[in-house]
Structure 1
Amino acid sequence: MLRALGAALALGLTMTGSAGQAETTRSLLDFEDLRGWAEDDHAAALDAFLETCPDLEAPDWSALCAFAQTEGDEDPRRFFELFFRPVLIEDGRPALFTGYYEPELDGARRRTPRFRYPLYRTPPELTRNAPWLTRQEIATSGILEGRGLEIAWVDDPVELFFLQVQGSGRIRLQDGSLIRVGYGAGNGHPYRSVGRELVRRGVYEPYQVSAQVIRNWVRRNPAEGRDLLFHNPSYVFFREVTEVPADRGPLGAMNRSVTPLRTVAVDPAHVPLGAPVWIEKDGQTPMRRLMIAQDTGSAIKGAQRADIFFGTGAEAGRRAGRLRDPGRMVVLMPIQRAYAMLPEPLQ
C-alpha cells in the first residue's frame, strides 16, 4: 500500500540556514524504521491528536482530522500509517528530551498564618514596552500588597517559585476544590537558571542538579535560598483559567488541554503544532511512544529538542525533573507534505 511507496527511502533534504547556523536536513523514513512502533498504544495517541486537530486550518490537516473523528478509531495504527510519513528533521544539534509538569499547590482564597505567599494578577501599570521591577524588587518593595491583586495564597514559597517557572498550575483549596492558574504576563526580565547558579557557586556538579535538589537546598538554607531565588529576576503574574475544567489537563500552546505522556512541547520553527511526533527517548528509562506536538516553551529550541508533559502534581514533577536524555524525534507529516520535501531531481 502507501507505505511501500517509500520503502528503503533515506533521502535527505538540506535547507541552508542563516549565517552561523547549522543546516537543517529532512529525511523521509518508513514506519519500520521507528523503534518500538508496533508496540505502542496508537489509540491513546489518536485521542490526543483529536484534542487539537479540529483547530488545524490547512486543508490536508483538516481532511485528516475529519477522517480521524469518524473512522480513525477503527484501526488507529493503520490511520497513522496510511495517511502520514515519518520525517526526521535535524539541525546539527544533538537530541535532548526534558520533562515538564503542572504543579499542584495547597492554598486558600484568603491569607492565613499558614497560607501567606500570594499569587498575583498582572498589575495595571505593567507594560510590554519595558522591563518592570525584578523578582527581588517586587518581593522587598511591597508594591503589590493591599491592592486586591491576589488570586490565592499558598504555603510554600519554593513551590510558588517553581509554579512561576512552569507558568501554570493548580491550587487545591482546603475544601477539595481546585483553582487553575495560567500565565498572565511577565515582568520583562529574562529567566536565569538557579540550578546553573548553584553549579557556579560550587555547591553541586552539573549532573547533580535537579528541581528536587534545588528545592531541598533552598529549604535547608533559608537565607541563602532566598538569595538564590532572587538570582532569577524573571517574575510571572497569573490569570485564573476558567475556560477549561480544573480536573482536565492544563492548556497548551494550542489553547487546548494537554495530555500526560502524550503531549510534547516542541520548537514550532521546526515542528508544526498539532503534528504527531514519534519519540525515541534513550537514557535510564527508554521511551518509545507516539505523542502530539501541542505545546511550546521558551527553552525548547531546535529540531531535536522536546519537552515531555508528565501530568499534574508532585510525582509528575519528580519524574519530569529527573529527565535529561538523548534519543531521536521523528515528525509524522501528511503524506503529500512529506513527499513535497524531496529535493528537485538533478537536471
Structure 2
Amino acid sequence: MKYILLIVPIISLFLGCSSEPEVPKKVESEAKVLFKSLPKTHLLKSTFDDLPDWHEEDYNEALSNFLNSCQTEKTKNIYKELCKEAKYTKSAKIFMQRKFLPYEINTKNGDEKGLLTGYYEPELRGSLKKTKKYKYPIYSTPKDLIIVDLSSIYPHLKNYRLRGKVKGNKLVPYDTRKESSSKHVPADIICYTDSKIDLFFLEIQGSGRVKLTNEKTIFIGYDNQNGHKYRAIGRYLVKIGALKSDEVSLQSIRKWLEENPSRVDEVLHYNKSVVYFKQREQSASGSLGLCLTPERSIAVDRRYIPLGSMLYLNADVEDQNVSKIVLAQDTGGAIKGAIRADMFLGYGKDAMEVAGKLKSPLKLWILLPKNKKATNI
C-alpha cells in the first residue's frame, strides 16, 4: 500500500460522522449507489468531448489496464458486467464510449484546486545481517500493534482504523518515530540498510526493492503504519527557514539532509508516522495488490474516490500536457482531497527525477457505467 494511513482522533470519529450522508446530485443511478457513502464528492455529468485530448488516447492500452484491474473485487464491484464484456470487445474506443459516462469530480463548494504529484519505486542497498555499515532496520509490523476496526458497530466509519498498543488495560497511541528510534521494536526485521534517509523516503513511496550484499534483490511493500498522522518534512524545512516554499522537492529535501547530517533526526522526527513493510514476490504493487503500471496507476483519497475506479486526468508533466485514462489502484495518507492524485512513474533514476519535482494543477473525471436507460452515443 502506498504511503501512510491517517490516525483519526476518537472524538472526531464520533462527532464528525454523526449525520447521514447525503446522496450527491446531478448523477446517474449507478453513481448514486457508488457515492452514497462519499457525501463530500460531487459529480457533474460530462461528455467525452469535454475531456481534453480524449480522441488522442491509446484506448487499447487503457483497456488492457482496465482488464488487469478487473482481477480485483473492488473494480468488479464498480463495473460488474463490464469487466466481462471488455474481454470480447473489438474496438476499445467504441467500448469506452458506449459503455461509460464521464463525471467531473469536485467538492460541495466546487472551489477545490486539483493537484497531481508523482511517486516511484526506489532501490536501497541492504544486508540480511546488521553490520557497521548496514545498521538501519526495515521493520515488519510490530507484534504489539493493535488495529481497531469500528465498522461492525459504526458502519459509517468503515474507512477508518484506530491503531495503538495496550498499556495496562488501556489502548494508547503507538510509539512515534522518535520514540521507536530509542527503544526496542517488537517486530521482525526484513533486512538492514545503510541510509536512514533512503529508508525514510522508502516509507514515503510505500514500496521498493533492496539490493543485498549477496547481489540478490528483494521486493518490499507497505504492510502497516503506527497510527500517527503523516506530516510532511518539507513543510518543516520551510518553517525553520531551511528551504523556501517554492523550492521544496524530493531532490531539495534530500540535498539539505545530506548537507546537514547533525539535524537529520530532528527533521525526520517531525513526521511521527512510521511505515512497516512485508517482503513481496513482485515489484511495486498498490492497495489492490496489483503490480502498478507506470503513468497508468494512481493513488487517490478513497474518502472521495472509490478504489478500483477508472478515471481520466488532465495535467502537465515535465512541461507537457498529459491527458489519459488511469486506474485508482493505490492510496496514501499524503493524498488528501477529491481532485488529488499521485501518479506512479516507475522504477529508476529517471522516474525518481520526474516524481520528485512533479506538482501540477489537475482535473479529474471518473468513468462510470452508463445508465442502461440513457441514449447510446
Range into which the TM-score falls when normalised by the shorter chain: 0.7 to 0.9
1:243-258 pair list within 5 angstroms: 245-246=281-282, 248=283, 250-258=284-292
Residue 96 (1) aligns with residue 109 (2):
no
Cα RMSD between the aligned structures? 2.5
What are structure 1's unaligned runs of at least 5 residues?
A: 1-11, 16-21, 340-347
| One-letter code aligned to 1:86 | P
Work out the CA distance in 1 between the residues paired with 2:130 and 2:368. 50
Deviation at residue 120 of structure 1 after TM alignment: 1.3
Tell me the percent identity. Answer: 37
Name the structure 2 match of 1:196.
235
Q: Is the 8 Å Cα contact of residues 85 and 333 (structure 1) preserved in structure 2? A: yes
Name the structure 2 match of 1:322.
357
Name the structure 2 match of 1:9.
none
Q: Is the 8 Å Cα contact of residues 118 and 356 (structure 2) preserved in structure 1? A: yes
Deviation at residue 251 of structure 1 after TM alignment: 2.2
Name the structure 1 match of 2:302.
268
The structure whose RCO (Cα within 8 Å, separation 6+) is larger is 2
Work out the CA distance in 1 between the residues paired with 2:314 and 2:235. 27
- TM-score normalised by structure 1 residue count: 0.82
What are structure 2's unaligned runs of at least 5 residues?
A: 1-24, 33-38, 147-162, 165-171
| One-letter code aligned to 2:259 | R
| One-letter code aligned to 2:303 | A
Q: Is the 8 Å Cα contact of residues 101 and 311 (structure 1) preserved in structure 2? A: yes
Partner of residue 290 from structure 1, selected from 302, 325, 332: 325
Residue 111 (1) aligns with residue 127 (2):
no
Partner of residue 256 from structure 2, selected from 214, 217, 224: 217
Residue 180 (1) aligns with residue 219 (2):
yes
1:1-347 pair list within 5 angstroms: 13=26, 24-56=41-73, 61-69=79-87, 71-72=88-89, 74-91=90-107, 92=110, 93-127=112-146, 128-129=163-164, 130-141=172-183, 143-144=184-185, 149-241=188-280, 245-246=281-282, 248=283, 250-282=284-316, 284-336=319-371
Q: Is the 8 Å Cα contact of residues 40 and 304 (structure 2) preserved in structure 1? A: no
SS in 1 for 2:304: coil
Deviation at residue 23 of structure 1 after TM alignment: 6.8
Work out the CA distance in 1 between the residues paired with 2:336 and 2:225. 20
Q: Tell me the matched-pair count.
A: 313
Deviations 1:123-142 (A, max 9, x none): 3223334322221222233x
> Kindly tell me: are residues 338 and 316 of structure 1, through their superposed partners in 2, closer, same or farther at Cα, counting changes over 3 Å?
farther
Work out the CA distance in 2 between the residues paired with 1:99 and 1:121. 25
SS in 1 for 2:80: helix
Q: Is the 8 Å Cα contact of residues 79 and 368 (structure 2) preserved in structure 1? A: no
- TM-score normalised by structure 2 residue count: 0.76
> Kindly tell me: are residues 79 and 295 of structure 1, through their superposed partners in 2, closer, same or farther at Cα, counting changes over 3 Å?
same
Deviations 1:99-125 (A, max 9, x none): 122222121222234322210122322
